[in-house]
Amino acid sequence: MATAPRIPLASGNSIPQIGLGTWPLDDAGAADVVSLAFGLGYRHVDTAENYGNEAGVGEGIRRSGVPREEAFVATKFNRRWHSVDGVRSAWENSVRRLGLEYLDLFLVHWPNPDQDTYVQAWEGLITLREEGKVRSIGVSNFTPAHLDRIIDATGVAPDVDQIQLSPYWVQAGPRAAHRERGIVTEAYTPIGRGTDLLAAPAVVAAAEAHGVTPAQAVLRWHTQQGLVAIPKSSDPRRLAQNLDVFGFDLTEAEIAAIDALDGSGPEQADPDAFGH
């Protein structure tokens, strides 16, 4: 059975390099897909309060029969919980919906700088980790400036920053900032949902050269560079494909040709202007 290698996190835990994205599945869809994916060898699932499917994700894990300690479960909380007490309430709600006793990774979903309380949200996560309620803590959609602010305020760097990252947005600056701060970069929308990324000639050429699908070539581009990626699929064949990306290596020239797609995709959401 295919499995994904794990990458060490600063907290001492480790994260499977391929995880299952679950947006926009509802509870019933998430239960079906998570249980199917875990049966195929997935051990990492990404959800969020905002997706409204945490109960389904928990049900899917239980249905799969995979022991809790083998699963890596990540979820995120919304802006209304950005205070130390608020983050505790967000955690209580998420673990109740998931039917779990602890989380592997808990993330601030968006910084929401207009509200200016993401430092307090970060302090809340540090407290939860000290109490053993979460193994690892992180952020999502944080720019290097947001990261510096929480690290300066607390002395604690996130284990993970989950950002929109694909060959259309290679995010060289944020990735360098993560490396310098010991943060693992996690890519969401890794295969470019809603774009023509999988038809880009550089991607198709690499896929043909290795006898794999375009999605597998793109996911190998992520994993070969040490990124974590969380592709979403509801299709059994594509789910299996997306995990089976460790049996070949792209050449430096193929990686460079795929890198050259940077900036040619549609506009991304601006974390200084958008959030929930």
Ligand X SMILES: NC(=O)c1ccc[n+]([C@@H]2O[C@H](COP(=O)([O-])OP(=O)(O)OC[C@H]3O[C@@H](n4cnc5c(N)ncnc54)[C@H](OP(=O)(O)O)[C@@H]3O)[C@@H](O)[C@H]2O)c1
Task: State the residues that interact with ligand X by CB under 6 A.
Answer: 21-23, 46, 140-141, 162, 188-193, 198, 213, 215, 230-235, 238, 241-242
- Residue tagged active-site, from 51, 118, 168, 188: 51
261/224 Cα distance (integer angstroms): 17
With CB atoms as reference, the residue minimizing the distance to ligand X is 21
Q: Which is nearer to ligand X, 155 or 237 (CB)?
A: 237
Distance CA 163, CA 150 (A): 17
In whole angstroms, the minimum distance from the beta carbon of 175 to ligand X comes to 16
CB of 199 to ligand X, least distance (A): 10
Closest by Cα among 124, 116, 118, 109 to 160? 109
The answer to whether 61 and 73 are in contact (CB under 8 A) is yes
Spatial distance between the Cα atoms of 229 and 16, rounded to a whole number of angstroms: 9
Which of 58, 42, 107 minimizes the C-alpha distance to 241? Answer: 42
Least gap, CB of 251 to ligand X (angstroms): 21
Residue 33 tokens, joined = 């897909």
Q: How far is the CB of 256 from ligand X (least distance, A)?
A: 22
Contacts of 129 (CB under 8 A, 6+ apart): 11, 135, 136, 137
Task: Indicate the residue among 126 and 160 with the shorter CB distance to ligand X.
Answer: 160
Active site residue 51: yes
Query: Would you say 85 or 225 has its CB closer to ligand X?
Result: 225
- Which is closer to ligand X, CB of 21 or CB of 158? 21
CA atoms within 13 A on the CB side of 191: 25
Which residues carry out catalysis?
Answer: 51
